[in-house]
Structure 1
Amino acid sequence: MQFGMSEEQAMIVNTTRAFVETELYPHEDEIERSGRMDMDLVRELQGKAMAAGLYAANMPEEIGGAGLDTLTWLLYEKELGRTNYALHWTAVARPSNILLAGTDAQKERYLYPCIKGEKWDCLAMTEPDAGSDLRGMKASARRDGADWLLNGTKHFISHADIADFAICFMATGVENTSRGTKKKITAFFVDKGTPGFSVRDGYRNVSHRGYTNAILEFDDCRLPASAVLGEIDQGFDLANTWLGATRLQVAATCLGRADRALQHALSYAAERQQFGQKIGKYQGISFKLADMALDLKAATLMTWEAGWKFDQGTVTESDMSMAKLKATEMLAFVADEAIQIHGGMGLMEALPLERIWRDARVERIWEGTSEIQRHIISREMLRPLDA
């Protein structure tokens, strides 16, 4: 594993950071105040992201993406992660790579328009009574002749309000396993406007203002057989195959925000004077800076290693869980310490620190809670011992 960036990686990092600082930072305050993204602004920024070659960069080059390897993609995600989540996710969209599992006809209808910026997708898994326990979902799909009828509710569905379609995971039967009866799951494409499918406003969220969530309701929503993504009853394997790297994406964006918070804290410690000298001279502050830098570097190395191993085909579930767990908990620590160093000013909206602090909270919950990540890590440790 090489620890230095290639010329191409450095160029991508510099281009992405310049775009974030020039095009996205200026709009943060307005989105924080309003809690919404103006679609005219989204379209404007979307065009600029495309011109810069940053749009849909996670997609293969042969279908219009940037064709980044996993490690380079994570370097890019770190730079995007420095800014408001709604800004970078909406204006610099990265379509879900599960769309690559579709048929040729499905790619024409869903994948390619997302890459061109003509459509947005959203993933619908979580339910009011089934969060971490995906196989405990109650929303279901049953056959009705050649069609499927979908019923049930999904919630916490990110940016479903602007999405043109949802990729919905529904229970389609049961099976007996060594751990008891489990739901069989199938994934479906559901277009907005399909009869029986409705999207309601979700919950007001303390984290990531402007990045909305929604409630999806299905009431005898009829879909043709062609709406099935992947194999029938194989949705759980489909999700595990295509969505595993999302934990690394979360880790990478956390690195960007933590680095921004640390730089603010470092600058303040070098400039602020109390009792006749710069506060960075006091061990109470300087040791905080050292601990913040130490934690950030550890999380960075774990994330880059997992990304590198992903491309080598040697990454494990534990590798990705460790990166996600460490980076999300590190961000919470760094954001909190950065505010402490700034004192009362750290909580003022004049600085991005209070936003970074608020935004950090959700990272330990979505894409698998910290407890789930610890379960995955310990399970992988114990399994060779038959424990």
Structure 2
Amino acid sequence: MHFGLSEEQQMIVDTTRAFVENELFPHEAEVERTGVLRRELLKELAQKAVAAGLYAANMPEDVGGAGLDTLTWLLYEKELGKANYALHWNCVARPSNILLACTPEQREKYLFPCIRAEKHDCQAMTEPGSGSDLRSMKAFARADGGDYVLNGTKHFISHADVADFAIVWVATGEEDTPRGPKKLITAFLVDKGTPGFTVREGYRNVSHRGYNNMILEFDDCRLPASQILGEVHKGFEVAGKWLGATRLQVASTCLGRAERALGHAISYAAERKQFGQQIGKFQGISFKLADMAMELKAAELLTREAAWKYDQGTVTEADMSMAKLKATEVLAMIADEAIQIHGGMGLMDELPLERIWRDARVERIWEGTSEIQRHIISRELLRPHGA
């Protein structure tokens, strides 16, 4: 593996970093203070991201994206991750790769408008009674003639308030397995405004102000079979093929925030004086900085290795779980230590540290909890031994 960046990769990093610092950072205070990302601001920044070539950069070139390899895409994600989540996710949107499973007709209606910043998508899997155990979902769609009728509730659905349509996973049947009955899952494309589909306000939470979670309700929501994404009963197969390295994406955005927090801690330790010298010269502070830098480097190397292996076709589930687990836990540690180094000022909203600290908490939960990641890693270790 080559650890240096190519000229093209460095250009993408520099371009993304400049956009984040010049276009997103100036609006962080407003979004954090109000908890709202204004629609007009979203549209303005999205158009600037399109003009800069940064919008939908995760998508292949043949559909209008940047066609980045996985490692380059994650370098881009790291820079975006330094900003407030609502600003970088909604304004520099990365449409779900699962839309690549669309039929030609569906691509015209859903995929291409998302790439052109004309529409936003969201994904709806989680339910009040099912989190990591998606097979336990209760939302169901029954066939009725040539249509399907959806009923059920989804919650914790990120940016559904911004989205024009939802990619919704529901049970459509059941099969017998050696471990008992197992639900068959199908993915549907559901437009806002479809009768029987309601989006309502979700829960107030500590992380990611302006980036809202919503509750989706389906009450005899009738959809034609043409709204199925992929095949009936093959929802998980579609997700497995097209969703891609979402755990690595989470890891990379965490790396960006951790790097930003560490930068603030280093600057403060070099400038702040107590007892006649810079506080960075005190062992209690200098050792913190050393540990923060070391842990960040370890998390970044794990993530870069997984990205490289992903492009080589050799990545394992454990590789991606290790990267996600390490990066999310390192972010929590660095955010906490950066605040400790700053003392009381670290908790004030004049600095981004208290925001980074708050936002870090959810990273160990979504896209698979830390416990799920440890389960995946240990399972891969034990499987060759028949355990």
Q: Give the TM-score normalised by structure 1.
A: 0.99
Q: CA deviation at 1:179?
A: 2.6
Map 1:180-329 → 2, pairs under 5 A: 180-329=180-329
Partner of 1:65: 65
Greater mean alpha carbon deviation, residues 242-251 or residues 196-205 = 242-251
Q: 1:149-183: per-residue Cα shift (whole Å, max 9, x none)?
A: 00000000011011110000000111122332211
Q: Give me the identity figure in percent.
A: 77
The aligned counterpart of 1:169 is 169
CA–CA distance in structure 2, aligned partners of residues 134 and 234 of structure 1? 14
Other structure's SS at 2:127 match: coil
Counterparts of 1:318 and 1:240, CA distance in 2: 15
Is 1:50 the counterpart of 2:60? The answer is no
CA RMSD in angstroms comes to 0.7
Quote the residue 2:33 is aligned against: 33
Secondary structure (helix, strand or coil) at the match of 1:184 reads strand
Deviations, residues 338-378 of structure 1 (Å, cap 9, x unaligned): 00000000000000000000000000000000000001111
Secondary structure of 2:250's match?
A: helix
In structure 1, distance between residues paired with 2:287 and 2:242: 41
SS at match of 2:232: coil
Contact 2:140 2:152 in 1 (8 A): yes
Runs of 5+ in structure 1 lacking a partner? none
| Deviations 1:300-345 (CA, angstroms, capped at 9, x unpaired) | 0000111111111111111101000000000000000000000000
Q: Secondary structure at the match of 2:233?
A: coil
Match of 1:384 in 2: 384
Equivalents in 2 of 1:18, 1:377: separation in Å? 37
Provide the rounded CA distance (Å) in 2 between the counterparts of 1:319 and 1:347. 35
CA contact (8 A) 2:97 2:244 kept: no
8 Å Cα contact 2:147/2:223 also seen in 1:
yes
1: CA distance between counterparts of 2:177 and 2:274?
64
- 1:191-211 CA-partner distances (Å, limit 9, x unpaired): 100001000000111000000
1:229 alignment partner AA: L
Q: Which residue pairs with 2:353 in the alignment?
A: 353
For residues 244-298 of structure 1, the C-alpha deviation after alignment (integer angstroms, 9 at most, x for no partner) is 4110000000000000000000000000001111000011000000000010000
Q: Name the structure 1 match of 2:97.
A: 97
> What is the DSSP-based 3-state SS (H/G/I as helix, E as strand, rest coil) of the residue aligned with 2:56?
coil
**Residues 7-16 or 42-51, more deviating:** 42-51
The residue number in structure 1 matching 2:83 is 83
1:241 offset after TM fit, Å? 2.1
Instruction: Give the equivalent residue in structure 2 for 1:133.
Output: 133
Q: Tell me the CA shift for residue 240 of structure 1.
A: 2.1
Paired residue type of 1:117: A
> What corresponds to 1:369 in structure 2?
369
- Identify the residue that residue 22 of structure 1 maps to in structure 2: 22
Structure 1 position 63, deviation (Å): 1.4
Query: In structure 1, what is the Cα distance between the partners aligned to 2:293 and 2:262?
Result: 7
Deviation at residue 120 of structure 1 after TM alignment = 0.2
Whole-angstrom CA distance in 1 between matches of 2:312 and 2:72: 13
Aligned residue for 1:163, secondary structure, equals coil
Cα distance in structure 1, aligned partners of 2:140 and 2:272: 59
Moved more, 178-187 or 28-37: 178-187
2:160 is aligned to: 160
What amino acid maps onto 2:171 in structure 1? A
- 1:181 alignment partner AA: P
- Separation of aligned partners in 2, 1:283 and 1:11: 38
Say if 2:119 and 2:163, in contact at 8 Å, map to a contact too: yes
* Separation (CA, whole Å) in 2 of partners of 1:127 and 1:171: 12
Query: AA paired with 1:50?
Result: V
Q: Corresponding residue for 2:9? A: 9
Structure-1 separation of matches of 2:178 and 2:328: 33
Q: Structure 1 residues 30 and 78 mapped into 2: Cα distance closer, same or farther (>3 Å)?
A: same
Q: Distance in 2 between matches of 1:29 and 1:311?
A: 38
Counterpart of 1:334? 334
Name the aligned partner's letter for residue 36 of structure 2: R
Q: Distance in 2 between matches of 1:176 and 1:357?
A: 45
Aligned counterparts of 2:91 and 2:2: Cα–Cα separation in 1? 32
State the one-letter code of the partner of 1:377.
I
Structure 2, unaligned runs of 5 or more: none
3-state SS of paired residue (2:314): coil
Matched positions, count: 387
Q: 1:355, 1:385 → 2: CA distance? A: 44
For 2:217, the aligned partner's letter is E
Distance 1:93 1:63 in 2: 15
Q: Which amino acid aligns with 1:149?
A: V
Question: Could you tell me how far apart the structure 2 residues matched to 1:167 and 1:100 are?
Answer: 12
Q: C-alpha distance in 1, partners of 2:53/2:253?
A: 19
